[in-house]
């Protein structure tokens, strides 16, 4: 039987085909993104460099001798390659299991193309089984938690975790997200929310999904 790490490695290696030579690329965060970074090391001389979506990713990239730029130093990124916690048929995503959602969303926004890499366990019909992470300004935590209860969620404070931006995370369980774009926009308007983990207003352009039979390439259903 193929284990999940093997699937992650397969899809991470498949993503090398999407690296645009001579450009700066965005790199995501998490165990699948880490495997992509390790694979990228083998072709590092073909790119100008990277922008990292977290301190952990920057450290791993530098550890491989891969150039890391600050986002403010670059005009645009050819492609952003990152994992996800859940993906639906529209390539709407839940991200932020690793707590890097805000920087991930910023880097994705600056990228011409977003290639999501995941193993088949991440593909769902309806988003929400994976708890939705919300990065909040610390003083707003309880307020946002109450707002999520009003929306049918069960918020859990991710204690002992501080984001790279110095904020806190609430993981909201029990949601069935039938309108990902609507909920993403609604939550972003609550005062104190820095970012929510829905990537639907800017979904992935391509989802590479690792299965025991190989890597499938999915495009968003129009
Ligand atoms: C980090 C993320 C990750 O992409 C997501 O949690 C998936 O991680 P993994 O590849 O370890 O399953 O959004 O904030």
The distance from CA 1 to its chain's CA centroid, rounded to whole angstroms, is: 27
Q: Are residues 140 and 104 in the same domain?
A: no
Q: Are residues 190 and 207 in the same domain?
A: no
Distance 222 CA to ligand 1 centre (A): 26
Q: Are residues 95 and 60 in the same domain?
A: yes
Q: Of these residues, 13, 104, 135, 147, which one is catalytic?
A: 104
Of ligand 1's atoms, which has the minimum distance to the CA of residue 34? 10
Distance 9 CA to ligand 1 centre (A): 14
Closest by CA position to 144, among listed 95, 196, 180, 99? 196
Mutation to probe ligand 1, out of 6, 8, 15, 33 (largest number of atoms < 8 A from CB)? 33
Q: Are residues 53 and 152 in the same domain?
A: no
One digit per residue, the tens of pLDDT, for the chain of length 222 reads: 779 999 999 999 999 999 999 999 999 999 999 999 999 999 999 999 999 999 999 999 999 999 999 999 999 999 999 999 999 999 999 999 999 999 999 999 999 999 999 999 999 999 999 999 999 999 999 999 999 999 999 999 999 999 999 999 999 999 999 999 999 999 999 999 999 999 999 999 999 999 999 999 999 765
Distance 139 CA to ligand 1 centre (A): 26
Catalytic annotation present for 104: yes
Q: Are residues 93 and 138 in the same domain?
A: no
Closest by CA position to 54, among listed 4, 104, 20? 104
Report if pTM > 0.85: yes
Distance 94 CA to ligand 1 centre (A): 9
Q: Which residue is listed with tokens 């129009």?
A: 222
Q: Which residues line ligand 1 (CB under 6 A)?
A: 28-33, 82-85, 95-101, 104
What is the total count of domains within the chain?
2
Q: Are residues 103 and 13 in the same domain?
A: yes
Mutation to probe ligand 1, out of 3, 27, 30 (largest number of atoms < 8 A from CB)? 30
* Containing structural domain, residue 149: 132-196
């Amino acid at each position: 039987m193929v284990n999940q790490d093997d699937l992650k490695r397969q899809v991470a290696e498949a993503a090398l085909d999407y690296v645009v030579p001579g450009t700066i690329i965005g790199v995501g965060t998490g165990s699948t993104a880490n495997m992509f970074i390790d694979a990228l090391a083998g072709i590092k001389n073909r790119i100008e460099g990277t922008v990292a979506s977290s301190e952990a990713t920057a450290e791993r990239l530098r550890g491989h001798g891969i150039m890391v730029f600050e986002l403010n130093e670059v005009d645009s990124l050819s492609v952003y390659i990152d994992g996800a916690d859940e993906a639906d048929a529209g390539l709407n995503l839940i991200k932020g299991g690793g707590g890097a959602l805000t920087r991930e969303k910023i880097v994705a926004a600056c990228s011409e193309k977003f290639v999501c890499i995941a193993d088949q366990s991440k593909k769902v019909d309806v988003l929400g089984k994976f708890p939705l992470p919300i990065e909040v300004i610390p003083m707003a935590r309880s307020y946002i938690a109450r707002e999520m209860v009003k929306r049918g969620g069960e918020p859990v404070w991710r204690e002992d975790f501080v984001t790279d931006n110095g904020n806190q995370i609430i993981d909201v369980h029990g949601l069935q997200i039938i309108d990902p774009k609507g909920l993403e926009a609604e939550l972003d308007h609550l005062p104190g929310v820095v970012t929510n983990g829905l990537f639907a207003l800017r979904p992935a352009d391509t989802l590479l999904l690792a299965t025991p039979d190989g890597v499938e390439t999915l495009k968003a259903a129009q």
